[in-house]
Amino acid sequence: MSLPDRIDPRPPRRIYRWDLDKTYLQTEFDSLRDLLRTAFQKAHEKQAVPGASALIRELAANGDSRLCIVSGSPKQMRSVLEEKLKLDGVVWDEFVLKDNVGNLMRGRFRALRGQVGYKLPAILESRANAPVEAEEVLFGDDAEADAFIYSLYADMIAGRVDERVLNQILAAAAVYPDEAERVRTAWKKIPVSDPVRRIFIHLDRLTPPAHFSNYGPRVVPIFNYFQAALVLLADGHLTAPQVIKIAVEMVQTAGHNIITLSNSFQDLLRRGLPLQQAAAALVQALEGPNALLQALRPVPDIISAFTKRLAALGTPPPPPPVQAVDYLDLIHHALPRTHKARKTH
Amino acid sequence: MATKLVTIAFDVMGSDHGPAEVVRGAAQLSLESPHIHTLLVGDRAVIDNALAETKHNGERISVQHASEQISMTEKPGEALARKPDASVSVAARLVAEGEADALVSAGNTGACVLSCARHFQLLPGVRRAALASVYPTRARHGDKDDPFSLILDVGATVEATADDLVTFAVMGSAYARIISRNENPKVALLSNGTEPNKGPRQVVEAHARLASLPGLQFIGNVEGVDIPKGTADVVVTDGFVGNVCLKMLEGVHETVVELAQYAYKESLRWRAGLAMLSGGIQRIKDITDWEQYGGAPVLGFDRIFIKAHGRSRSRAIANAGKVAAKAVSHELGKAIQQGLAR
């Protein structure tokens, strides 16, 4: 038997793309004071959103995946952010930060707050180097334009957006010409495929979920990462015991309890997510031997709470219909919010 | 000390302003009070649509579908018999089963009280439940400088015995102590004179017994004129008289508002006068704003029930939920039982 002359890592089967602030980290930057505090925080002072690190670790544990982080935080924060991720046991493959100082020096003030001209080329360039068959799940938040950018990205590589519409979007989002050129160049390198399975939007600002209904069922607004884990269980990315591990971390570190978890579960069912089988798998896993469960309440209580929330609803509603996204109509979602708009949402 | 988690069931279908108003109130509560969870009972599709459009915290809200509802105009007994899956009935059952700790409804009062009577138990020593109501007064009460007094009963027990009146006094005192943070509330019997021997036989008898009851600050009889003055923190009477008093207070309030509107339209000089008084008028409006109180309790059951006004807006509903949660956290039922045992 001959050995191969090179040992390359296996190509990723799945790619998980994360934003950082308000998606992974509990960051406040609505005021100058918040910004300064965030800038001077040490790694151990930064707080992760409950369940986020556990979810990333469980997704990574299945192997064959890549974690790509594209954050709007400035490059100068790289060391402290990397230290925080290491403290949480998060291993990443790509970590892109925004060159805010460079933008400032070049007088590109629109780029300081604009997200489309920064994130869209970054994730397209990353995708250009990924295997065509790799599936994607994306995580963002409701503070900025994540739902818009991620959906546009998914529809661009799936061939559902044409160049004329893209150009109109880039113009409306006031993207600088060189950024627009990066978008077009990277896009052309990507073979047409439809890899994006889910886009999770962490409701950091508790934006009403209907705000995202125009993006269709691919976008799932979530109040917490237990909800993301349940959907990923239904989608086959996680197993039921892995979901329980995530729930346990949220109970142990963030004050979640059986009521908040069962309410979160019911909330997704009410929004038409097909989670009945996932619920059955979860109940089965809860009934099996699992030392982790000692951290929660007695197992019969958990099963009873989940079963009651399920039964309370009667017939499940149909899932929301798949729909085409009218990006030009939704362009206001992509523009930086004014202080007033942030307050009202 | 960590705040105890409390679940409040809301009968979503009863409000004059439609289910969405109750959902908005519960949604507001989910944002403001992390220790309060809400269980919304009613038409699930209607609730989900309203929730999807409203800023809320999904971790603190659950829904129980109920396919029927009872309108304000229906006869309570008949309606409850005809509609076993009515939202108020389902909500009361869930509270009785321990799925929630208290019930809030803005619906048909008779149907609410009857649902509670069917699903809840009366506290030991309580023969009849009492519907209490708050009303604005000139005097302030308790640690919170509350501008409201409590009157009970206002309609649940039309003819009260002396025993009932004594029980109402104990229940009203416990409620004022807990909700208005009034450590030693002044309790009075409503009569046609302040002398102990004035009034019908049951009032005279209740007076004698309350005067010797330990742990209760009984100040004797008060007359109608003392109600708006706020002479007592808790006014005790039967459901017939209490209801007449309450409706008269509401009528006076509406008449004053109508007179002000008339004056505003009638003459420029009067309008200018009203404009100059606007700060004071706003202040009166603020202190008599019943929405800040949310609702009135039905006292005497082993579970908490807060009856919100039919025309409650979301803020009043949210406040009714807070009042209910406070009554649960401070174990109102236990406080009433301790008062009755003395």
- Residues from chain A that touch B59, judged by Cβ atoms under 8 A, are 223-224, 256, 260, 263-264, 267
* Contact across the interface for A263 and B62, Cβ inside 8 Å: yes
Backbone phi, then psi, for A251, in 5-degree steps? -70, -45
CB-nearest partner of B55 from A206, A259, A262: A206
Instruction: Report B:80-139 residues touching A (Cβ under 8 A).
Output: 99
How much is the pTM?
A: 0.88
Average pLDDT, chain A: 87
Cis peptide before A204 (omega within 30 of 0): no
Residue of A nearest to B2 (CA): A255
Range in A24-28, B5-9, B80-84, B182-186 the model is least confident about: A24-28
pLDDT digits (tens, 9 = 90+) for A34-91: 767 777 778 788 899 999 999 999 999 988 999 999 998 888 889 999 999 999 999 9
- Whether the CB of A264 is below 8 Å from some CB of chain B: the reply is yes
CB-nearest partner of B61 from A203, A263, A317: A263
Residue B293 confidence (pLDDT) above 70: no
Of B71, B54, B61, B64, nearest to B36 by C-alpha is B61
- Whether the CB of B46 is below 8 Å from some CB of chain A: the reply is no
At A291 the pLDDT is 61
Mean pLDDT of B23-29: 96
Three-class SS state of B90: helix
At A6 the pLDDT is 62
Length in residues, chain A: 345
At B192 the pLDDT is 92
Give the best residue of B59, B85, B93 to mutate against chain A (max A CB count within 10 A): B59
Decide which of B36 and A302 is more confident.
Answer: B36
Range in A86-90, A298-302, A328-332, B192-196 the model is least confident about: A298-302
Rounded distance between C-alpha atoms, residue A76 and residue B269, angstroms: 67
Residue pointed to by tokens 């030991």 = B124
For residue A190, how far is the Cα from the chain centroid?
22
* Contact across the interface for A312 and B57, Cβ inside 8 Å: no
Q: Which pLDDT band, with edges at 50, 70 and 90, does A313 fall under?
A: confident
Residue B32 confidence (pLDDT) above 60: yes
Instruction: Report A:164-203 residues touching B (Cβ under 8 A).
Output: 203
- % pLDDT > 90, chain A: 59
Residue B301 confidence (pLDDT) above 60: yes
Residue A329 confidence (pLDDT) above 70: yes
Residue A130 confidence (pLDDT) above 70: yes
Q: Where are the beta strands (DSSP E) in chain A?
A: 14-18, 65-74, 94-98, 135-141, 196-202, 219-222
| Helix H or strand E segment including A35 | helix A32-40
- Whether the CB of B62 is below 8 Å from some CB of chain A: the reply is yes
Q: Where are the beta strands (DSSP E) in B154-270?
A: 186-190, 217-222, 234-236
Range in B108-122, B123-137, B258-272 the model is least confident about: B258-272
pLDDT digits (tens, 9 = 90+) for A188-210: 999 999 999 999 999 999 999 99
Dmax (CA) of chain A: 68
- Whether the CB of A151 is below 8 Å from some CB of chain B: the reply is no
CB-nearest partner of B59 from A223, A270, A345: A223
- Residues from chain B that touch A257, judged by Cβ atoms under 8 A, are 5
Rounded distance between C-alpha atoms, residue A54 and residue A246, angstroms: 5
Quick one: DSSP state of residue B316? H
CA distance B239 to chain A (A): 37
- Residues from chain B that touch A224, judged by Cβ atoms under 8 A, are 59
Both tokens of A321, joined, read 């219909």
Q: Are B5 and A259 in contact (CB under 8 A)?
A: yes
Residue of A nearest to B41 (CA): A312
- % pLDDT > 70, chain B: 95
Of A129, A139, A115, A188, nearest to A20 by C-alpha is A139
Environment class of A327 (CB within 10 Å of its CB; exposed 0-12, middle 13-18, buried 19+)? buried
Rounded distance between C-alpha atoms, residue B300 and residue B315, angstroms: 26
- Whether the CB of B31 is below 8 Å from some CB of chain A: the reply is yes
Three-class SS state of A200: strand
At B123 the pLDDT is 93
Residue of B nearest to A211 (CA): B53
* Contact across the interface for A308 and B99, Cβ inside 8 Å: yes
**Tell me, what's the ipTM?**
0.87
* Contact across the interface for A317 and B59, Cβ inside 8 Å: no
- Whether the CB of B205 is below 8 Å from some CB of chain A: the reply is no
Rounded distance between C-alpha atoms, residue A254 and residue A249, angstroms: 8
> CA dihedral in degrees (A143, A147, A150, A153; nearest 10)?
-130
At B1 the pLDDT is 47
Mean pLDDT of B120-137: 90
Residue A258 confidence (pLDDT) above 50: yes
CB-nearest partner of A314 from B5, B48, B65: B65
Residue A322 confidence (pLDDT) above 90: no
Both tokens of B200, joined, read 């019908």
Rounded distance between C-alpha atoms, residue A184 and residue A162, angstroms: 11
* Contact across the interface for A271 and B48, Cβ inside 8 Å: yes
Q: Which pLDDT band, with edges at 50, 70 and 90, does A33 fall under?
A: confident
Residue of B nearest to A318 (CA): B45
Rounded distance between C-alpha atoms, residue B336 and residue B169, angstroms: 10
Q: Are B188 and B207 in contact (CB under 8 A)?
A: no
CB-nearest partner of B62 from A266, A317, A345: A266
CB-nearest partner of B58 from A213, A263, A314: A263
Contacts of residue B229, defined as CB under 8 A and 6 or more positions apart, other chains included, come to: B137, B138, B139
Decide which of B285 and A107 is more confident.
Answer: A107
Mean pLDDT of B124-149: 84
Residue B81 confidence (pLDDT) above 90: yes
At A137 the pLDDT is 97
- Whether the CB of A318 is below 8 Å from some CB of chain B: the reply is no
Give the best residue of A267, A342, A343 to mutate against chain B (max B CB count within 10 A): A267
pLDDT digits (tens, 9 = 90+) for B166-198: 999 999 999 999 888 888 999 999 999 999 999
Q: Which pLDDT band, with edges at 50, 70 and 90, does A103 fall under?
A: confident
